[in-house]
Amino acid sequence: MKLTVLYFARLREALGRDREEVVVPVDVTTLAQLRAWLVARGDPWAGAFTEIKRIRGAIDQAMATDTTLLRDGAEVAFFPPVTGG
Amino acid sequence: MPVRVQREDFDAGVEIAQLRAANSAVGAVACFIGVARDRNDGERVATMTLEHYPGMTESALEDICTKAKSRWNVLDVLIVHRIGELRPTDQIVLVAVTSSHRGDAFDACEFVMDYLKTEAPFWKKESTPAGARWVEARDSDDTARSRWAHDNDRR
């Protein structure tokens, strides 16, 4: 499955990139599994995802939970808790 | 139900006049303006830079407006949120709600802000004498939002 992964705010800075294209294995089907797969690649993902607390995710521009399913071609985003307003 | 994300400042008077102009059913307008402060968590703040997630921001704000309209007798909801670099005293966000009576307008306006604070993908970075830092999300914002989980629309 091919995915576009976007990063915002502190997470973007910690990773030194705002997006990447990834191809994940077939057993990566949920948001939590994608996160675990990214972290398993080592640093900077492992460090950033551990250091920054309460990282949230969105799939196709809608807030997602750990169990939300991915789809081929999806735009997935990870970011720290929001602080607008 | 307009939602705008923009760098430019806004004129709340003009926005409110436009929002209620064509609707003689409006009996109440409640509005909230969020403003950049000169201090946060004990540090002096020189500038604040707002980042967002283009596309998702707009749909998240529209979703919040839809929730407010389905819960209260609201005629219209307007959200204008600024991005980019802001300085103390600058306006950050405007929420304006029109309704026939004040109760719905007051409650819906507060609901929209409480949801915006926890659901809309904006992030603030402050520049202070100690260096630049990302603003931390506050537990009190989650608490404010969770009040609305109950069915008591009038608290």
Interface of B with A (CB under 8 A): 34, 50-53, 55-56, 59-60, 81, 92-93, 113, 116-125, 134-137
| Residue at token pair 């789809």 | A71
Q: Does any domain span residue A69?
A: yes
ipTM reported for the complex, 2 dp:
0.94
Instruction: Quick: pLDDT tens for B79-107.
Output: 999 999 999 999 999 999 999 999 999 99
Assessment of whether the complete model's pTM goes beyond 0.90: yes
**Helix H or strand E encompassing B93:** strand B91-99
Which candidate from B56, B122, B124 shows the least CB-CB separation from A58? B56
Q: 3-state SS string over chain A?
A: CEEEEEECHHHHHHHCCCEEEEECCCCCCEHHHHHHHHHHCCCCHHHHHHHCCCCEEEECCEEECCCCECCCCCEEEEECCCCCC
pLDDT tens by residue, A9-61: 999 999 999 999 999 999 999 999 999 999 999 999 999 999 999 999 999 99
| Topology given in CATH for the domain delimited by B3-149 | Aldehyde Oxidoreductase; domain 3 (3.90.1170)
CATH number of the domain that A63 lies in? Answer: 3.10.20.30
Which residues from A are below 8 Å from B when comparing CB atoms?
6, 8-10, 54, 58, 61-63, 77, 79-85
